Amino acid sequence: MPRRSASTLAVALTAALALTTLTACGSGGGKQSATDDKSPLEIWVRKPPGSNTEKTHQALAAKFTEQTGIPAHVTALFDDFETKLQQAAAQKKLPDLIVNDTAQLGTLVKQGLVTQVDRAGTKGGDQLIPASWDAAKGADGKYYGVPFSAQSFALFVRKDWREKLGLAQPTNWDELDALATAFTTRDPDGNGKADSYGYVVPGSTKRGYLDWYFSSFLWSAGGDYFAQDGKAPAIADAASVAAAQRLKDQFCTAKSVVPGAATAETTQAHPLFETGKGGIYFTGPYNMARFDKSLGKDKYEVIALPAGPGGKSVSLAEGENAYLMAGSKNPGGQKRYAEFLIGIEGQTLGMAGDTDGNVVRLPVNKGVDLASVRKDERWLVFDRAYREGGRYVPVVKEWTPFRQASAEALNAMVADCGSDPKAVLGKLATTFAAELKKQGAGS
């Protein structure tokens, strides 16, 4: 999901200092620092300290050391991860490798903190799902990370409500909207009150949440953000406008969206599903464990988003990359650790079975049989969605301005039922064109 990146003046100055220092001693034009292929590796992961996910990363590091003889130490950080990384850069004490969100790639490249990766020269790289490499590609077409974990999204639907109303699982978008309307108007929880709704939507503008939610529906409808060459907006094209119109209709015509959605982040949206305010939630596999406990596994089902007007079911793809940091004393060890993480053994160990210690949500190695590692068949819904229709956000120098502008435009549109989606997206296209030009990509 969208995460805040460090953006204060102090951080920017720190990044500039780090860039100058690391370029001098790292892998780009200047005096090379001495290397040592047995030097211990410092690995940072964006996980809560003491969590089961940290333990899984520690197990990965231990197995790597057992196989290679190269010591590897894991540090788990969660709060202010990016700020602490900047501080380490300023002190010339960057870790050798970090495992962090795919969304951080643009920022890390811009700050000069990561090294370029040779995709063809990465052992096992040809065994990865081809789309996974898109998460590691910079705006210049070069790779600055190695894919490690992926995730996609699916519909969480109140099965008990659906069955009580005698309705089938939706197979197209009209049936999906009809199910949402039934949940809103036919008292599916049987309490005699008009207090249930169809869609749970994290529609806040904060961190671009509404665009994050909307992207899968945009692509499935046949719409897009940019033209194929990436140099011109496509957000105001007919298919994109049709997707926005459907979103607005859910809010304004059918009124099948949970009230308060326009200001809800995911932290507010999750409880709306598990407490019975809304019955359809498009979200990720990380919520299954939570909802199994709070709601009950028997009360909801996980189904793929039906194919949209564009003819396909497309899911936003996210995940984590292994980033090889600049200035490492052991670049060979960095590369070997990344290659270990993407191998079948590393991927399987990272999946951690059906436990909450998983750091590989969906494997990026196409040779891993998810069903043999996890017995919860619901994971297969997400795995299939990723392999067949997973799509990462567009490759631009900085995606955040686009996501934020889109979220603000869509939010204003659903908040004003007199708005015209075509006009809203037309204005957004103008904003996109200006940002593309600013980033040096406009036509």
Could you tell me the domains of the chain? Answer: 9-152+317-391 (3.40.190.10), 154-316+397-438 (3.40.190.10)
pTM: 0.89
Q: Which residues of 43-79 are buried (b: 16+ CB within 10 A; e: fewer)?
A: bbbbbeeebebbbbbbbbbeebbeebebebebebbee
Residues of the chain with pLDDT under 70: 1-33, 443
CA-to-CA separations, 287 to 86, 182, 300, in angstroms, rounded: 31, 24, 12
pLDDT at 21: 45
CA-to-CA separations, 412 to 76, 255, 402, 417, in angstroms, rounded: 39, 16, 16, 9
Yes or no: say if 311 and 137 are a contact pair by the CB < 8 Å rule: no
Q: What is the Cα–Cα distance from 328 to 336, expressed in whole angstroms?
A: 13
- Residue 359 is given by DSSP the state S
pLDDT at 33: 57
Give percent above pLDDT 70 in the chain. Answer: 92
Residues 50-101: pLDDT tens digits?
Answer: 999 999 999 999 999 999 999 999 999 998 899 999 999 999 999 999 999 9
Q: What is the Cα–Cα distance from 440 to 434, expressed in whole angstroms?
A: 10
pLDDT at 174: 98
Specify the pairing of strand 390-391 against strand 315-316: parallel
pLDDT at 224: 98
Q: Which one-letter amino acid corresponds to residue 359?
A: V
Average pLDDT of the chain, as a whole number:
92
pLDDT at 20: 45
Greatest extent of the chain over all pairs of C-alpha atoms, in Å: 75
